[in-house]
Structure 1
């Protein structure tokens, strides 16, 4: 499989301290890749190397199928980014800052600045000097700048810093829309598990400068089933069907109506089919899976 972004054995050492070691990440075109790790895990270090702000001590970065070099200026024109905190010319307005960015990028699409400001709910503030903006507004302006030139790849380091819960949801919805309708690919770092769980297609978990695991959210849901919970009008008859008809042994009657089935080969579909065939009325049946938080803590050995 070809990837829009790939790192091979990426390492960074500064003053004898290893900040990143043997980092291999693989980002598919058109997906939202969640780069998850606690503060100090190495997320920003890797993102600085991906965006050519820092040169690797060892290893390579491939973007759009080409090795990233110190002179890869054209490649960077196809990217948007926020690394750490977005900075601006404070005496200039938001519109002026975005216009200057378009000049840097050689992007002259009429109406793009107004559209970006509207997407981030900044239209009314666009003419005001950035020094009068709040932290959350500056963060939104940074996101507007990152997506302004319709980049193919967007690298965002903790993009929801300074935003309230409603603002965080709005930004998540925006990223999904840009991914779906414009084919943009996003790499989004965060130490907030709930934030990554609610938006990412694939997750890369980093701890102490090393990638612990790359896995799709779908795979986490499918392969980390803890149990199937069944609620039936007649739990005793349901238990008889599970044991006698389906030959299941690993289940537990929780209370007067609920049964939990822990058999790894059991599926909700097969259980429902067999219960209905034997006249058992099902109130509800659902699969309970390991959350991203459970998975993350297990990987980083914090449980």
Structure 2
């Protein structure tokens, strides 16, 4: 069984003189939540449009569920649900009527899926309320209910939390986690709200000016962005002994410049500084350090821009 739902091989897309995608090799594993990160115009939406068959690549190929011929891709796309540039809703229809209209357009037999999907996204009690009177969060959830018609295995969402209030963001996040963990749906989610992706994604792809700079797992990102206490004292060897003895940990590293990275007890810096001071050590520098996804991303594209 193929373990990737999507792979691209040197995928490029050129609009006039603008290279929107430049030899992109993306790989999305089955069962993952893939956070697709990039500034506006970086190439996120272009790649999504190519994957969904809404645009054709200039060069390169894509593979969906292990299939890559034109006819196979047409069939494979039936296994995908999408929200691109906002959900496509009929404003003067109810939630049920919206799903019924899309069910008929997709040729899906039986009406059982309507109530099932509305219940799944928490819109089963909206009754005769028109979609135009829904909150933005409700519209996004209705869009998800429509995208889930036909029980897709792969969900592609372009900026699904853009403009939502904090409660709406939490609702969408928890719903996407449920779809992934309980229903096994692989999700590609593009967003510029990096703090939210950090709470959701299992894997990341970072794209900048049409080029895929890096792909990494959440575990790899956390290792690169690990939080620690940066400590510099007058006697680093003694400090290392104090830390190991007092806190019963070896989860620290003495750097070549004599500073210490303490990866444990980051949440109780006062206790650490007190223990060092009580042993007669002079603290020259002492501060929490480390990166979050946003800082890591900024440093990564900053390095590209400077280069």
Aligned partners of 1:60, 1:300: CA distance in 2, in Å?
26
Aligned partners of 1:267, 1:91: CA distance in 2, in Å?
55
Aligned to 1:256: none
Conserved 8 A contact 1:79-1:153: yes
Task: List per-residue Cα deviations over 1:259-302 (Å, max 9, x = no partner).
Answer: x723xxx8759xxxxxxxxxx9xxxxxx9642111210111117
Q: What are the equivalent positions in structure 2 for 1:40-51 lying under 5 Å apart?
A: 40-51=41-52
Q: What are the equivalent positions in structure 2 for 1:252-267 lying under 5 Å apart?
A: 261-262=260-261
Any unmatched runs of 5+ in structure 1?
254-259, 270-279, 281-286
Q: What are the equivalent positions in structure 2 for 1:112-261 lying under 5 Å apart?
A: 112-225=113-226, 227-228=228-229, 239-241=240-242, 249-250=254-255, 261=260
Conserved 8 A contact 2:225-2:293: no
Aligned partners of 1:203, 1:239: CA distance in 2, in Å?
35
- Return the offset for 1:205: 0.5
Aligned to 1:13: 14
Change (3 A) 1:249 1:122: closer
Task: List per-residue Cα deviations over 1:86-145 (Å, max 9, x = no partner).
Answer: 222333332122122223334336532223223333233353333343443322211111
Change (3 A) 1:123 1:8: same
Conserved 8 A contact 1:40-1:208: yes
Change (3 A) 1:186 1:168: same
Aligned partners of 2:112, 2:20: CA distance in 1, in Å?
42
Aligned partners of 1:104, 1:135: CA distance in 2, in Å?
24
- Return the offset for 1:74: 2.3
Matched position secondary structure for 2:4: coil
Task: List per-residue Cα deviations over 1:186-217 (Å, max 9, x = no partner).
Answer: 00000111111110000100111111100111
Any unmatched runs of 5+ in structure 2?
266-275, 277-287
Aligned partners of 1:212, 1:101: CA distance in 2, in Å?
37
Matched position secondary structure for 1:301: helix
Conserved 8 A contact 2:9-2:61: yes
Aligned partners of 1:268, 1:198: CA distance in 2, in Å?
21
Aligned partners of 2:209, 2:48: CA distance in 1, in Å?
15
Change (3 A) 1:53 1:71: farther
Aligned partners of 1:118, 1:248: CA distance in 2, in Å?
51
Aligned to 1:86: 87
Task: List per-residue Cα deviations over 1:142-185 (Å, max 9, x = no partner).
Answer: 11111233210000000112321111111111111111111100
Aligned partners of 1:130, 1:143: CA distance in 2, in Å?
14
Aligned partners of 1:65, 1:32: CA distance in 2, in Å?
18
Conserved 8 A contact 2:228-2:264: no
Residues 24-33 or 81-90, more deviating? 81-90
Q: What are the equivalent positions in structure 2 for 1:40-119 lying under 5 Å apart?
A: 40-67=41-68, 69=70, 72-108=73-109, 111-119=112-120
Change (3 A) 1:292 1:200: same
Matched position secondary structure for 2:302: coil
